[in-house]
């Protein structure tokens, strides 16, 4: 059973460019969340997708956008890259249990983005 | 709003010694709490979670944590450290005040284990 997969593993961009990161959730999961982890910090929540819609968003600017596809995979897009966007971007998937509450989020290995 | 504070950015123990990593939370609703571990250049792996059942939660690799509402704490312990436990540990609370299930993480504690 494949876990959460992310691509690419590493990425180098220059300021002002745009980037797209991809995530495939764990088999059977329908919810995808994205996190940004700066060096030496804990992950920070960017947004969460469920039923192909963004249903929760953290304190990130509109330069950060996303998408969820019918097969539950997801993309994270960042426009007008800044040096401060350099970080490890983590994707997590989970299964929505409306009655049972919080299900476990399983994390992928991340994409390391470097902005020069 | 929910938040998490991890006391001590770096903890060092000897192999075989007790491991204690501290986590305090702030939440306006009964929280769901988690401990994750991150090895170098890897993603996060769930160690254990508290979801309002038993207050003493047992996880993988011999770790456990106790939820103490009166102290708003969820400290992680392991009776005997192994070299393989050296990693970064994150405590997280689930943001249940909104429709989604975002995790709010602490800044992490680096555990070093010496022989």
Instruction: Say if the Cβ atoms of A101 and B51 lie within 8 Å.
Output: yes
Nearest Cβ partner for B100 among A35, A44, A55: A55
Structure tokens at B59: 């996880």
Question: Mutate which of B8, B27, B39, B43 to test chain A, going by most A C-beta atoms within 10 A?
Answer: B43
Contact state of A107 with B44 under an 8 Å Cβ cutoff: yes
Among chain A residues, the shortest Cα distance to B3 is held by A44
pLDDT in tens, chain A (116 residues): 679 999 999 999 999 999 999 999 999 899 999 999 999 899 999 999 999 999 889 999 999 999 999 999 999 999 999 999 999 999 999 987 655 555 789 999 999 999 99
pLDDT over 70 percentage in chain B: 95
- Token output for A10: 């590493």
Do B99 and A43 make contact, defined as CB atoms within 8 angstroms?
Answer: no
Q: How far is A109 from chain B (nearest CA, A)?
A: 4
Contact of A18 with B84, CB cutoff 8 Å: no
* Tens digits of residue pLDDT in B19-75: 999 999 998 777 889 999 999 888 899 999 998 778 899 999 999 999 998 999 999
Q: Do B99 and A55 touch (CB under 8 A)?
A: yes
Please indicate whether, in this complex, the C-beta atoms of A55 and B36 are within 8 angstroms of each other. no
Q: How far is CA A21 from the centre of its chain?
A: 8
Q: What is the DSSP string of A43-71?
A: -EEEEEEETTEEEEE-S--TTEEEEE-TT
Q: Identify the burial level of A16 via C-beta atoms within 10 angstroms of its C-beta, where 0-12 means exposed, 13-18 middle and 19 or more buried.
A: exposed
DSSP bridge partners of B45: B37
């Amino acid at each position: 059973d494949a876990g959460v997969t992310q691509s690419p593993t590493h990425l180098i961009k220059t300021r002002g460019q745009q980037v797209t990161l991809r995530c495939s959730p764990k088999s059977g999961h329908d919810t995808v969340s994205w996190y940004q982890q700066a060096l030496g910090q804990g992950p920070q929540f960017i947004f969460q997708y469920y039923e192909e819609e963004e249903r929760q968003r953290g304190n990130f600017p509109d330069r950060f956008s996303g998408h969820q596809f019918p097969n539950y995979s997801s993309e994270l897009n960042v426009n007008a890259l800044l040096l401060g966007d350099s970080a490890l971007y983590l994707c997590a998937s989970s299964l929505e249990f409306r009655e049972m509450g919080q299900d476990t989020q399983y994390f992928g290995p991340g994409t390391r983005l470097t902005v020069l | 709003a929910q938040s998490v504070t991890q006391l001590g950015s770096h903890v060092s123990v000897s192999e075989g010694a007790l491991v204690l990593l501290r986590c305090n939370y702030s939440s306006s609703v009964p929280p769901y709490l988690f401990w994750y571990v991150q090895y170098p250049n890897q993603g996060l792996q769930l160690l254990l979670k508290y979801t309002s059942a038993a207050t003493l939660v047992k996880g993988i690799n011999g770790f456990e944590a106790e939820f103490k509402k009166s102290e708003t704490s969820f400290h992680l312990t392991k009776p005997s450290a192994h070299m393989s436990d050296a990693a970064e540990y994150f405590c997280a609370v689930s943001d249940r005040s909104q429709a989604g299930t975002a995790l709010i993480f602490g800044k992490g504690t680096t555990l070093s284990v010496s022989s």
